[in-house]
């Protein structure tokens, strides 16, 4: 397994593009993205559990009910959520793209991200689709990644090469996500492509399973978005024997998908709105996976812990506090905590109680851009990791006038 370049166009048969069509006022920012498979692909997706859902999710769910898709179109700058004609607009986007690509509109995955409750005009999209299709390129992954950004400060893409059944396969992905991230299925928008030959059923099984330990373990601000979606297209062009059961090939695919998703999780968390640091909470010694996950996510969601990390303050009491209200069945008197970064590691709590440590050394460690919060529950063999970021003044500034 090797990390390679290319993002969503690393796999055979995929092209992508991104353009500015006029949804966003800033002409320097792309606001329309396209991913296209030369052959119809098997598809799997997961969606937000928020009761308020963007119209594109409803349309996409209907479109891919048969397990197939050929293209993904996504606009940024407007979420197409809570709009009276939202379904109509999403269907129009699919129809316009279907006509331009000469494919069935029902083979189009449609997504939107941006402001909620703002009417979405179809005209800019209609006018932008010709150039979007014309710009399709085997090296267009980055362009598509830029087209789905909102408050993101950097494009997020990754690709991995692996081998299944003697055939070289590739998985690539792009993501957007910077704020309103506290998923209960996936996170914001993630689009993944692969040339591995795997059935829709096994693709769905792989995705639904993996998000539990990857995207569901990311939190930026505790807000679950209305438009969260993770979608995977698999066109089978690598030529391996189709994966239709839980065998060794499936396990290899799962491991590779997990690598891609963890990479995207870290990119999303590290680019949280206003963030200066990526936080990784690693819990070990738990009695069960569920306990480990509950503890890790509770700590990563703690506003006080996040604020302490922003200030490079080794306030470990906030970590213990977050563990305590997580309702996870843990023995507080066994908990060890330490902080780690490129500058080293420092234990700050032993058996649920404070120990002497150098505040100066702790400050040095916590001033780094990637901070690990290490928690050992000393009660079992299970572990889990959650990702987040620090809480800064800039987060409030960004969201104080996000719409206006």
Among candidate residues 9, 60, 150, 187, the one labeled active-site is 187
Check: CB of residue 48 under 8 Å from CB of residue 189.
no
Burial (0-12, 13-18, 19+ Cβ within 10 Å), 274: buried
> Which residues are bridge partners to 77 per DSSP?
114
Backbone Cα Rg of the chain:
22
- Contact between 110 and 94 (Cβ < 8 Å): yes
The β-bridge partners of 163 are 168
Within 10 A of 167 (CB to CB), how many other CB atoms are there?
15
Between CA 116 and CA 55 the distance in angstroms is 11
Backbone angles phi, psi at 295, to 5 degrees: -65, -45
Distance between CA 151 and CA 145 in Å, rounded?
13
Helices and strands (DSSP H and E) totals, the chain: 11, 15
The DSSP 8-state label assigned to residue 78 in this structure reads E
Rounded distance between C-alpha atoms, residue 284 and residue 67, angstroms: 38
Assess whether 187 carries a catalytic annotation: yes
Rounded Cα distance, 177 and 173, in Å: 13
User: Which letter does DSSP use for residue 403 in this model?
Assistant: -
As given in the structure block, the two tokens for residue 378 are 């000393």
Which residues lie across from 376 on neighbouring strands? 284, 336
In the structure encoding, which two tokens stand for residue 304, read together? Answer: 């006080």
Plot region of 250 (φ>0 → left; ψ -120 to 50 → alpha; else → beta)? alpha
Contact 47/183 with Cβ under 8 angstroms?
Answer: no
Taking the CB of residue 403, how many other CB atoms lie within 10 A of it? Answer: 10
Whether the CA torsion 86, 211, 225, 177 is positive or negative: it is negative
From the list 19, 23, 22, the residue with the least C-alpha distance to 33 is: 19
Tell me the catalytic residues: 187
């Amino acid at each position: 397994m090797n990390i390679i370049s290319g993002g969503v166009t690393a796999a055979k048969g995929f092209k992508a593009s991104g353009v500015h069509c006029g949804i966003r006022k800033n002409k320097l920012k792309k606001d329309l993205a396209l991913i296209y498979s030369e052959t119809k692909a098997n598809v799997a997706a997961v969606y937000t559990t928020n009761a308020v859902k963007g119209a594109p999710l409803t349309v996409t769910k209907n479109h891919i009910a048969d397990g197939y898709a050929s293209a993904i179109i996504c606009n940024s700058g407007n979420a197409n959520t809570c709009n009276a004609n939202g379904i109509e607009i999403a269907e129009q986007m699919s129809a316009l793209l279907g006509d331009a690509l000469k494919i069935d509109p029902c083979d189009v995955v449609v997504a939107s991200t941006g402001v909620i409750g703002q009417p979405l005009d179809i005209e800019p999209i209609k006018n932008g689709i010709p150039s979007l299709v014309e710009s399709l390129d085997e090296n267009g992954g980055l362009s598509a990644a830029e087209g789905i950004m909102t408050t993101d400060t950097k494009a997020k893409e990754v690709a991995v090469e692996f081998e299944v059944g003697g055939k070289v396969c590739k998985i690539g992905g792009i993501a957007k996500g910077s704020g309103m991230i506290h998923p209960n299925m996936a996170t914001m928008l993630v689009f993944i492509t692969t040339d591995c030959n795997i059935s829709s059923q096994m693709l769905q099984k792989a995705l639904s399973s993996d998000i539990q330990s990857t995207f569901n373990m990311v939190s930026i601000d505790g807000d679950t978005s209305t438009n969260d979606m993770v979608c995977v297209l698999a066109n089978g062009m690598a030529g391996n024997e189709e994966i239709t059961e839980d065998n060794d090939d499936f396990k290899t695919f799962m491991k590779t998908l997990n690598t891609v998703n963890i990479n995207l999780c870290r990119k999303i968390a590290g680019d949280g709105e206003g963030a200066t640091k990526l936080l990784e909470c690693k819990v070990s010694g738990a009695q069960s996976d569920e306990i480990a996950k509950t503890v890790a996510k509770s700590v990563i969601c703690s506003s006080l812990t996040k604020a302490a990390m922003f200030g490079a303050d080794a306030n470990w009491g906030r970590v213990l506090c977050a563990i305590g209200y997580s309702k996870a069945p843990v023995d507080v008197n066994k908990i060890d905590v330490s902080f780690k970064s490129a500058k080293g590691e420092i234990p700050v709590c032993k058996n649920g109680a404070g120990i002497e440590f150098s505040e100066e050394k702790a400050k040095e460690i916590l001033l780094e851009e990637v901070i690990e919060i290490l928690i050992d529950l000393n009660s079992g063999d299970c572990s889990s990791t959650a990702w987040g970021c620090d809480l800064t003044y800039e987060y409030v500034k960004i969201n104080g006038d996000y719409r206006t």
